Amino acid sequence: MRRVGVILVAIAAFVLAGCGREGAPGAAPAEQLSYPVAQNVQVPGSATFAKIQQAGRIKMGVKNDQPGLGVQDPTTGQYTGFDIEIGRMIAAGLGVPADRIDYVVVPSAAREDAISRGDVDYYVGTYTINDNRKQRVGFAGPYYQAGQDLLVRADDPSITGPTTLQNKRVCSVTGSTPIQRVRQQNLTQPQNVVEFQNYSQCVDQLIANQVDAVTTDDAILKGFAAQDPQRLKVVGQVFSQEPYGVGVPRDDVAFRNKVNDLLQQAETDGTWQRIYDATLGKSGTPATPPAIQRY
Ligand code: GLU
């Protein structure tokens, strides 16, 4: 029944757009994923949605250096990845086509500020839902379940899990949950914790022998390892739960509910799976969506 609705919306979008690109059948590569743009959307009581409607555009907070999740191609400027597609699906569900999304790159440490100031309408970028962050922002989701892991040099047999990091130099990102865990659990000595704004900087340090491990979510680390399997490997001992949420303004409950509805629909009608298979799933690890947790 849902599928019929989706097809009807796709046909409507096809007719309105006057071209034949919407609703192409079959498994499409990441750059060809597209979503029917909803018409006459209303989100009563949502200041965020009112702002989007007024502008006719969405300001979407993203990462740009996380392979498989959120990457910007340096030559074409195009954004691709699982998080990006989730964000585009939400935009379409709010009535905003992909060419009316403005991408705002926000590093981990600046997310709560960017969302609460209104610099972004919502944020999709490996953003773990937790109570501490909920004091400043809201979360729709989760739309993916990740876990903290370690990235090491491919020829290093000495690091096999979180208890083998003593006296090792460990790199992670400012304001992230993994760096907090490294410190709280004393996984290595405080002077051995190295901190940057972006994970790609940590990976450069690892390749240059300046650090011995990069720690963050397995989903992020697998993307880096896949790009350079000769030099990098993921240890594969997950030691936390990192449920990914869409960051939204804290007090806009109507908007949070709407994003939850769109995530729920994508998980039910197969869109989530289509997005996963075309992006993160290309690494070969199968996944299913976690249950949405409304609050
Ligand atoms: N998911 C973790 C977090 O939200 C690590 C990834 C990131 O920094 O974006 O802190």
Q: Are 149 and 182 in contact (CB under 8 A)?
A: no
User: Which atom of ligand 1 is least distant from the CA of 199?
Assistant: 8
**E strand or H helix at 140:** strand 137-146
pLDDT per residue of the chain (295 residues) written in tens, 0 to 9 = 444 444 444 444 444 443 333 333 444 444 479 999 999 999 999 999 999 999 999 999 999 999 999 999 999 999 999 999 999 999 999 999 999 999 999 999 999 999 999 999 999 999 999 999 999 999 999 999 999 999 999 999 999 999 999 999 999 999 999 999 999 999 999 999 999 999 999 999 999 999 999 999 999 999 999 999 999 999 999 999 999 999 999 999 999 999 999 999 999 999 999 999 999 998 778 999 999 999 9
Edge-first strand listing for the sheet containing 65-66:
65-66, 70-72, 79-80
Full residue range of the structural domain in which residue 259 is found: 47-146+241-283
- For residue 4, being part of any structural domain is answered with no
Question: Domain containing 172 — which CATH number?
Answer: 3.40.190.10
- Residue 231 to residues 151, 158, 206, 227, 238: CA-CA distances in angstroms? 10, 15, 9, 9, 21
pTM above 0.85, yes or no: yes
- Give which of 62, 60, 6 is closest to 35, Cα–Cα: 6
Q: Are 174 and 197 in contact (CB under 8 A)?
A: yes
Q: Are 219 and 86 in contact (CB under 8 A)?
A: no
Is the beta carbon of 108 within 6 A of some atom in ligand 1? yes
Tokens for 212, please give them. 């011995």
Q: How many whole angstroms from 108 Cα to the centroid of ligand 1? A: 6
- For residue 253, being part of any structural domain is answered with yes
User: Which atom of ligand 1 is least distant from the CA of 177?
Assistant: 10
- Which residue minimizes the CA distance to atom 6 of ligand 1? 126
Let me know if 18 is exposed, middle or buried by CB neighbors in 10 A (0-12, 13-18, 19+): exposed
CA geometry: angle 242, 31, 198, nearest 5 deg: 40
270 and 223 within one domain: no
Q: How many domains in the chain?
A: 2
Is the beta carbon of 128 within 6 A of some atom in ligand 1? yes
107 and 188 within one domain: no
Is the beta carbon of 173 within 6 A of some atom in ligand 1? yes
User: Which atom of ligand 1 is least distant from the CA of 126?
Assistant: 9
- Which residue minimizes the CA distance to atom 9 of ligand 1? 126
User: Which atom of ligand 1 is least distant from the CA of 173?
Assistant: 8
The phi, psi pair for 243, rounded to 5°, reads -75, 125
